[in-house]
């Protein structure tokens, strides 16, 4: 597109309003008359001019819209709606794709280990895991997109897409990974809730109960690691092994063919993995430490946690390419106030440096409602801290602006309904080209089995 030439005379009048309202401008107005508030008014641009905009220019404007705004805009006409399925527009969209660090939340019953992702309009037969046996039946599903830049919520519904018996486990590259919660070989589904696409992965080779799942998606590759909760008998599990799935645009793939042994005395109680620079990290409990898995070398090792004897409810998050540890610190035997702290793992891979602390007045408010721990998720410069066992009590921390604030409640989830929200880092995307590789893999598998 040609650069804009400021010397060109516009064929129509336009206007904008500039307002300066601060005390300093009032005091300086007497010294400098040129700083007086200027308001330029004129007629609105003629609608006939807008109707003559080239479609290529109009498509480029729409491609820069954030995902929620685009889905509102596509209701304007059939052509705008059809843009979502137009290869030329999707190619343009991927070229100018603006990064929007958001979060997506799903409802989870306080007294259940499994997620309840059905909407409130469904019948109650699907609310209990015992009634959700994996089958070909589908259910209306809902997610709640939180936009931290404007502190706004959006409801995403993808009806009749996901089969029953699955819960969200991880996210990356605009895709949500759903895993079957029945014991045995695990089935994973990669879902793009923005466009309603669903891509299955081959079942795992080992039988597991509730393993930890790590997902890393790039435009040309997919890496998945499942670890722990090996079923050693119908009534017992043990954290023994991990298995990995890989596929890339170069034609190399490994369908759960790469396995590894876990370090001794490891516990995956959180079930979450964080991907940072080619490695998966997850919390290890009793005692606290961090388990690291290098994808390329398929090796595991432990990293000592800072102040591990005084930590409570530790969480790992990724923020701007760094691994962060967030935890409450309680040193009752020392004259140190309780606090919530943020540490960052240094480049050496073994040393932690304290980066931030929650302001003490806010922490006192936080501690009043926090009794059962909290869960954290990071995306870009934002960290969301969800207080467990409460109705949508969450705190947002902006790493760039060093700002802590309470997140407004989601208007789509009723307060006092027994549901709490569990979130994942999410970047809304209208297209995920890497799923084409998975579709080819599924087609090859189908042809071989057929």
* pLDDT tens-digit readout, 96-105: 877 789 999 9
What sign results for the dihedral spanned by CA atoms 312, 317, 319, 323?
A: positive
Averaged pLDDT, 195-209: 89
CA distance to 33, 127, 341, 410, per residue, from 107 (Å): 57, 11, 27, 11
Span of 24-28, 169-173, 331-335, 381-385 with lowest mean pLDDT = 24-28
pLDDT at 425: 93
Q: Give the model confidence (pLDDT) of 341-372 as tens digits.
A: 999 999 998 999 999 999 999 999 999 998 88
Share of the chain above pLDDT 90, in %: 34
Q: Please give the average per-residue pLDDT across 408-417, as a whole number.
A: 85
Which residues fall within 8 angstroms of residue 257, CB to CB, at 6 or more apart?
Answer: none
pLDDT at residue 115 tops 60: no
How many angstroms separate the CA atoms of 391 and 109, rounded? Answer: 11
Report whether pLDDT(337) > 50: yes
Q: Which long-range contacts (CB under 8 A, 24 or more apart) does 411-415 make?
A: 411/153, 412/142, 412/144, 412/153, 412/155, 413/107, 413/144, 414/120, 415/391
Q: Are 352 and 373 in contact (CB under 8 A)?
A: no
What is the average per-residue pLDDT within 28-49? 47
The two structure tokens encoding residue 217: 């998606």
**CB-based burial, 310-344: b 16+ in 10 Å, e otherwise:** bbebbbbbbbeebbbbbbbbbeeeeeeeebbbbbb
What pTM was estimated for this model as a whole?
0.78
Q: How many CA atoms lie within 13 A of 379 on its CB side?
A: 24
Which residue in the block uniquely carries the two structure tokens 């109705």? 391
**Rounded to an integer, what distance in angstroms lies between the CA atom of residue 385 and that of residue 417?**
20
CA pair distance 303, 346, nearest whole angstrom = 12
Neighbours of 412 (CB within 10 A): 17
**Contact predicate 403/77, CB 8 Å:** no
pLDDT of residue 443: 65
Report which of 210, 211, 212, 223 is spatially closest to residue 172, judged by C-alpha positions. 223
CA distances from 69 to 182, 373, 423 (A): 38, 35, 22
Beta bridge partner(s), residue 317: 324
Return the pLDDT at 445.
56
Give rounded-to-5 percent helix, strand, coil for the chain: 20, 40, 45
pLDDT at 1 over 70: no
Q: Which of 275, 282, 281, 279 is nearest to 296 (CA)?
A: 279
Enumerate the β-bridge partners of residue 403. 398
Show the DSSP H helices in 139-286 as ranges.
none
CB neighbours of residue 132 within 10 Å: 24
Instruction: Please give the backbone phi and psi of residue 214, each rounded to the nearest 5 degrees, phi first.
Output: -120, 135
Mean pLDDT, rounded, of the chain: 78
Residue 418 token pair: 């027994």
Domains of the chain, start order? 55-96 (no CATH), 102-110+140-445 (2.120.10.80)
Are 392 and 385 within 8 A, CB to CB? no
Beta bridge partners of 432: none
Q: How many CB atoms lie within 10 A of CB 297?
A: 10
Q: CA-CA distance, 50 to 58, in Å (whole number)?
A: 9
**pLDDT of residue 268 exceeding 80:** no
Determine the number of helices (DSSP H) and then strands (DSSP E) in the chain. Answer: 8, 30
What are 151's two structure tokens? Answer: 């502190």
Structure tokens at 230: 């090996």
Taking CA atoms, 436 is separated from 357, 431, 442, in Å, by 43, 10, 10
pLDDT at 133: 41
CA atoms within 13 A on the CB side of 226: 29
Choice between 36 and 163, residue whose per-residue pLDDT is larger = 163
Residues 241, 383: Cα–Cα separation, whole Å: 31
The first and second tokens of residue 379, run together, are 């995306």
Q: What is the pLDDT of residue 406?
A: 95
């Amino acid at each position: 597109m040609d650069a804009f030439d400021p010397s060109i005379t516009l064929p129509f009048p336009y206007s904008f309003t500039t307002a300066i309202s601060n005390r300093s401008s009032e005091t300086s107005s007497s010294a400098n008359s040129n700083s007086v508030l200027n308001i330029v008014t004129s007629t609105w641009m003629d609608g006939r001019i807008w109707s003559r905009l080239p479609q290529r220019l109009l498509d480029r404007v729409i491609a820069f819209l954030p995902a929620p705004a685009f889905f509102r805009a596509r209701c304007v006409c059939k052509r705008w709606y059809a843009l979502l399925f137009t290869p030329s527009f999707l190619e343009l969209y991927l070229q100018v794709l603006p990064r929007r660090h958001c979060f997506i939340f799903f409802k989870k019953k306080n007294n259940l280990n499994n997620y309840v992702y059905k909407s409130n309009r469904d019948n109650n037969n699907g609310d209990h895991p015992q009634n959700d046996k994996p089958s070909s039946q589908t259910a209306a599903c809902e997610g709640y997109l939180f936009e931290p830049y404007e502190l706004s919520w959006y409801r995403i519904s993808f009806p009749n897409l996901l089969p029953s018996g699955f819960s969200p486990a991880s996210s990356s590259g605009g895709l949500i990974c759903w895993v079957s919660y029945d014991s045995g070989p695990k089935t994973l589904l990669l879902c793009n809730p923005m466009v309603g696409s669903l891509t299955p992965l081959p079942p795992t080779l080992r039988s597991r109960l509730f393993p930890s799942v790590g997902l890393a998606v790039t435009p040309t590759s997919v890496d998945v690691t499942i670890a722990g909760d090996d079923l050693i008998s119908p009534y017992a599990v043990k954290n023994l092994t991990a298995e990995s799935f890989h596929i890339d645009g170069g034609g190399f793939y490994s369908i759960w063919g790469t396995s590894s042994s876990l370090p001794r005395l490891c516990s995956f109680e959180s079930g979450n993995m964080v991907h940072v620079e080619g490695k998966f990290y997850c919390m290890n409990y009793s005692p606290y430490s961090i388990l690291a898995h290098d994808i390329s070398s398929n090796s595991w090792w432990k990293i000592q946690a800072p102040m591990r004897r005084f930590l409570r409810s530790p969480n790992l998050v990724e923020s701007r390419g760094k691994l962060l540890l967030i935890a409450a610190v309680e040193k009752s035997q020392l004259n140190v106030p309780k606090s919530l702290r943020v540490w960052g793992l240094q480049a050496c891979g073994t040393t932690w440096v304290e980066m931030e602390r929650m302001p003490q007045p806010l922490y006192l408010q936080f501690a009043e409602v926090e009794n059962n721990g909290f869960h954290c998720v990071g995306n870009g410069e934002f960290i969301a801290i969800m207080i467990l066992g409460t109705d949508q009590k969450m705190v947002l921390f902006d790493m760039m602006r060093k700002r802590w604030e309470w997140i407004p409640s989601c208007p789509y989830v009723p307060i006092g309904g027994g549901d709490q929200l569990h979130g994942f880092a999410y970047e809304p995307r209208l297209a995920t080209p890497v799923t084409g590789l998975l579709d080819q893999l599924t087609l090859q598998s189908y042809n071989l089995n057929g």
